[in-house]
Structure 1
Amino acid sequence: MKNLLSGKLENYKPLREIVFEALREAIINGQLKAGERLMEVQLAEEMGVSRTPVREAIRKLELEGFVVMIPRKGAYVADFSTKDIADVFEIRSALEALAAALACERITEEELDELERLLIRVADCTAANDLETLVEVDTQFHDVLYKASRNDRLVQIINNLREQIQRFRTISMGTPGRMRETLEEHKQLVEAITERNVELAQRIAQEHIENAENRMMEAIREEMRSGGGRKA
């Protein structure tokens, strides 16, 4: 916890934003775990700041679904149920389809070249069975697509939804055969966008997210059967 703000205080953002981003990152990467209580005084002391930016950050995290406030008990890191995850994926599949459709109409040649380069990196990660790097490259791939939509509000909403389930992504990507499926789905999506085929791009983007959801749910159900115990 003491390194949450390491290297972050040098930028010129307001302190409340820096604290918010640090706490959100800690939740996403599992440093702050689901169900863990967020104590304002303790966090402020560990981060070397006053309670005010911590309090403001926790409120914003609650609005974005990362934190739940329990009356007379305080703030806790949100623990996603399988229904919560399904709800997020349901929204994401529709928004990803919209982003793909807009990208078909608005993407630049430079962005298409960038997608092609990222496809090569996805293929390399798949061949090397490098799950950790693949998750990073997959994020970059989707970021290019979102940017190509030229709709900042859409990008903001999708990123928020994606971040809420970021901690579960390796579960989906790590299931047998999913890395290779992801590569093929990405290739098909780039082809459809290159051809400016809006209908096909929408369908592939939606199926890509639905496939990721199905893989994740299979893994979670298996974990529950083996006694891992995520709530339903």
Structure 2
Amino acid sequence: MRDVYLLRAEIEALATAVACERMTDEQFDRIEAVHEEIRNHRGGDGEDLAVLNRRLHFTIYHAGSELIASHASSLWQLFPPRVTIWADPDAARALAADHDEIIAALRDRDAKRAQNCARDHVLHAAKLREHL
């Protein structure tokens, strides 16, 4: 599990930086819309949030590079939505707060900050998963 998250952290940080540099305003609007879906989610279960989380991540990654997104996807397949940490309300709030930081960096078109926020987010998720 640790190795998967270490790989994810680097690949997804790169994917986020590339997206920040290449995304169109329209793509950013789609990213923000999915982010708002997560923020406004009520009811359901953690699996619902996990699916939305995946959609957010891959809306970002596909805005930058299909090739990098496909490599990230291969790692995500190792953890299906039913084994999510999003079912824990505290973890869900913490991860959503991480997303706020990533979205802010993307909005500012600050690729380096977006890259660092994405890396930190994946490593934060790894720590939460270990704890839970």
In structure 1, distance between residues paired with 2:16 and 2:54 = 15
Q: Is the alpha carbon distance of 1:94 and 1:144 closer, same or farther for their aligned partners in structure 2, counting shifts above 3 Å?
A: same
User: Could you tell me how far 1:199 is from its partner in structure 2?
Assistant: 1.5
Query: What's 2:32 paired with?
Result: 116
Tell me the amino acid that sits aligned with residue 48 of structure 2: T
Larger RCO of the pair (alpha carbons < 8 Å, separation 6+)? 2
Q: Is the alpha carbon distance of 1:93 and 1:210 closer, same or farther for their aligned partners in structure 2, counting shifts above 3 Å?
A: same
Aligned partner (choices 52, 66, 73) of residue 159 of structure 1:
73
8 Å CA contact 2:51, 2:81 repeated in 1: no
CA radius of gyration, larger in: 1
Query: What's 2:18 paired with?
Result: 102
8 Å CA contact 2:45, 2:87 repeated in 1: no
8 Å CA contact 2:102, 2:118 repeated in 1: yes
* Alignment partner of 1:146 is 2:52: no
Which structure has the highest helix share of the two? 2
Aligned partner (choices 44, 50, 66) of residue 135 of structure 1:
50
CA offset digits 1:126-156 (Å, max 9, x no partner): x436422111111110111110112x22111
In structure 2, distance between residues paired with 1:103 and 1:169 = 27
Query: What's 1:210 paired with?
Result: 123
User: Could you tell me how far 1:182 is from its partner in structure 2?
Assistant: 1.7
CA offset digits 1:166-215 (Å, max 9, x no partner): 25741x22234111112211121111011111111111101110111111
8 Å CA contact 2:16, 2:114 repeated in 1: yes
User: Could you tell me how far 1:161 is from its partner in structure 2?
Assistant: 0.6
8 Å CA contact 1:112, 1:194 repeated in 2: yes
In structure 1, distance between residues paired with 2:45 and 2:27 = 25
- TM-score under structure 1 normalisation? 0.53
Aligned partner (choices 69, 73, 93) of residue 9 of structure 2:
93
User: Could you tell me how far 1:165 is from its partner in structure 2?
Assistant: 2.1
SS in 1 for 2:56: helix
Which structure has the highest strand share of the two? 1
Structure 2 unmatched ranges of 5 or more: none
Identity %: 26
Root mean square deviation, CA, Å: 1.6
